[in-house]
Chains A and B, each alone.
Chain A
Amino acid sequence: MNVARARALLRGVWDFVVGDDWRTAVGVVAALALTALIADAGVSAWWLMPLAVLALLGWSVRRAARDATRRPDAS
């Protein structure tokens, strides 16, 4: 398999899993890491993921909505 095909394959996997908002994926990984750290310290950590989901969804939608309404052809 040549380099171009490998890159195309990786790009396809990235698009499939991460999609067009990489910040959300980074946020999920960070929230899981933080949950692991808190749980490892012996503190209750279940509450963190629901809060992270709310924040990430709101943040992602807000960015998309702002981009959409800025478009000149949106009327």
Chain B
Amino acid sequence: MSGPELGLALSVFLACAVEAVEALTIVLAVGTTRSWSSAMSGVAAATLALAVLVLALGPALTSLPLDVLRLLVGGLLLVFGLQWLRKAVLRRAGLKAKHDELQAYAEQTAAARAAGGRPARMDAYSFTLAFKGVLLEGLEVVFIVLTFGANQHRVGLAAAAAGLAVLAVVALGVAARAPLASVPENTMKLAVGVMLSSFGTFWGAEGAGAHWPGGDAALLAIIPGVLLAALATAALASPGDRRVWPAGRSAPRELTRRP
């Protein structure tokens, strides 16, 4: 496996694992409080929709000329990656609430109980919530699988890395029978932001006609460079009194949106 392929697999695995942990919390919450069969039906429907999206868009993307593909994918990855990185930096600086699976689980179960009675066979609430949770979390993974995979003509490898991450998270979730609160989600999000921004920088510049010194080996400088820049930015942005939004406290709306 080449360096860029390893980067592809690692980025997709991390991104997918983070999103799967969040989706698992939602599914666990509605499954345990309302209906497991309806929740699992929602999961299956969302997984099918995501797979169809990859199968439909993957070949279309890979048929684009390489320079156009790299410019388009590089630009999109960079825009997307800088969103992840910005929020990861703000979390690290204590300016944005860190994601807390136990808190999210408590909120979801309370909402599920408050939603009222359930029918005997199919619970629409459980189905819809599980479907939406998996679909929304999965869309980001599909975006990453398609952009990374298409650029290296390895959509299959990217999809396999995503599948492996889902299996790992589901296995841990089944073993723990609880939200995976001990997964270092915020660190993983920082890593994903660094990888997306680094590959976006590399491919975007190549697609625009620039040539990197050392070719693919330039990534070995870009990735640590972006990581150091993110850590330095977090240190500089950190307020002196370490003002932190603990989970459940209200942070400004513009700092609470995804990813």
Contacts and interface: CB of A to CB of B under 8 A. Distances in A.
B208 A35 contact: yes
Interface stretch (B33-41, B124-132, B155-163, B249-257): B249-257
A3 interface: no
Interface string B89-110: 1100101100000000000000
Interface string B169-201: 000000000000000000000000000010001
A15 to B, nearest CB: 8
A64 B254 contact: yes
B76 interface: yes
A19 B83 contact: yes
B222 interface: yes
B205 interface: yes
Contact of B201 (A16, A20, A53): A53
B133 interface: no
Interface stretch (B24-32, B50-58, B209-217): B209-217
A interface secondary structure, majority:
helix
B220 interface: no
A34 B213 CA distance: 19
Contact of B95 (A20, A25, A64): A64
A8 B222 CA distance: 37
Contacts, number: 132
Q: Chain B contact residues (Cβ within 8 angstroms of A): what range?
A: 35 or more
B45 interface: no
B76 A45 contact: no
Contacts of B79: 17-19, 24-25, 28
Interface string B212-247: 110000100010011001100110110100010000
B254 A49 contact: no
Q: Chain A contact residues (Cβ within 8 angstroms of B): what range?
A: 35 or more
Interface of B: 71, 74-76, 78-80, 82-83, 85-86, 89-90, 93, 95-96, 139-140, 143, 197, 201, 204-205, 207-213, 218, 222, 225-226, 229-230, 233-234, 236-237, 239, 243, 250-252, 254-255, 257-258
**What 9 A-B pairs are tightest by C-beta distance, nearest first?**
A39-B209, A36-B208, A35-B208, A45-B210, A19-B83, A49-B205, A46-B210, A65-B237, A49-B201
18 contacts: A16-B139, A17-B80, A21-B83, A24-B79, A24-B82, A32-B208, A35-B208, A36-B209, A39-B209, A46-B212, A46-B218, A49-B205, A54-B229, A57-B85, A57-B230, A58-B236, A64-B86, A68-B90
